[in-house]
Amino acid sequence: MGASAGETRTVALSFPADYGNQELAGRDASFEITVKEVKLKQLPAVDDDFAIDAGFDSVEELREDIRSRLIEAEVGRIEEEFLNDALDAAVAGAQVPVTPALVKARAREMWERMLHSLAHRGISREAYLSIAGREERDMLADIESEAEQTLRREAVITAIVAVEGINPSDEELLHEIAPTAERDGVVPEKLLGDLRTAGSLEEIREGLAVRQAVELIAARATPIPVEQARARERIWTPEKVHDEVEDLGAATPGRLWTPTDQRSAS
């Protein structure tokens, strides 16, 4: 703060004890920093001229467009989160035998896929591990829990697709690929035929079946009020204020209570 272009400063700091690179964890360090240049972003005035340049008639119209798009994005995020939570609730109640060898194999697959993606951005395996300051075996161990959950999700979805007989029709596929067809400037029927010829249609059908299975799970799930969901994230102990416990329906102050404790319901 306060440095000018061409000025050199020495910055001292301490690496946290749990820093990824064990050679640096908990150690004091100093960095010599030279300021190349200083810039100040000048934002345009938010007036009607600005709105017109953006393709709107007025600032009010621009604001309303931004507001509606933000709300649409947030609603989409919440709906997607609900779908995922409903699926995980179904997975938690299912009996899915997953062997350690299968989990390790899926973890390795997920790891290699991520490295392949990084390679397209010019980041090698060695560079990524160096930046993370960790060994590959440790990274794989961290991925295993996610890999196991992914396998369980896939098993539950596969079972639901089979039991419910989910098989998306061509009409549903046309609706699914309509945005892509519009972007490519072709009619959906033409794109559908091209995908069928290329042998890619079944992959899209399977993906849509997965989505429909998850939506079916979510449709049969029972939502709970926001306050109840928030309360489930907290555990009330005897040290909590009595009236706070009483507000949540705990009949007996001074004992451990959680939102799922049926004995304390009023």
Q: Report the candidate in 256, 261, 251, 254 with the shortest Cα–Cα distance to residue 228.
A: 261
Confidence band for 51, pLDDT divided at 50, 70 and 90: very high
Closest CA to 147 of 85, 203, 210, 105: 105
Residue 216 has pLDDT above 70, yes or no: yes
> Who has greater pLDDT, 188 or 253?
188
Contact 28, 14 (CB under 8 A): yes
Query: In Å, how far are 17, 20, 129, 138 from 123, measured between CA atoms?
Result: 27, 18, 10, 19
More confident call, 244 vs 52: 52
Contact 92, 84 (CB under 8 A): no
d(CA 92, CA 95): 8
Do 245 and 236 touch, CB atoms closer than 8 A? yes
Residue 236 has pLDDT above 70, yes or no: no
Please state, rounded to an integer, the average pLDDT across all residues of the chain.
85
User: Mean pLDDT, to the nearest integer, of 29-56?
Assistant: 92
What pTM was estimated for this model as a whole?
0.63
Convert the pLDDT of each residue in 62-100 to its tens digit.
Answer: 999 999 999 999 999 999 999 999 999 999 989 888 899
| Residue-level pLDDT at 234 | 65
Average pLDDT over residues 201-220: 92
- Is the pLDDT at 235 greater than 70? The verdict is no
With a cut of 50, say whether residue 259 has pLDDT above it.
Answer: no
Q: Choose between 127 and 22: higher pLDDT.
A: 127
Q: What is the DSSP string of 168-224?
A: --HHHHHHHHHHHHHHHTS-HHHHHHHHHHHT-HHHHHHHHHHHHHHHHHHHTS---
Quick one: pLDDT band at residue 206, thresholds 50, 70, 90?
very high
Query: Is the model's pLDDT at 251 over the cut of 60?
Result: no
Per cent of the chain over pLDDT 90 is 56
- pLDDT tens digits along 138-181: 999 999 999 999 999 999 999 999 999 999 998 999 999 999 99
Q: What average pLDDT does the segment 38-65 reach?
A: 93
- Rg (alpha carbons) of the chain, rounded to whole number: 27
Whole-angstrom Cα distance, residue 112 to residue 108? 6
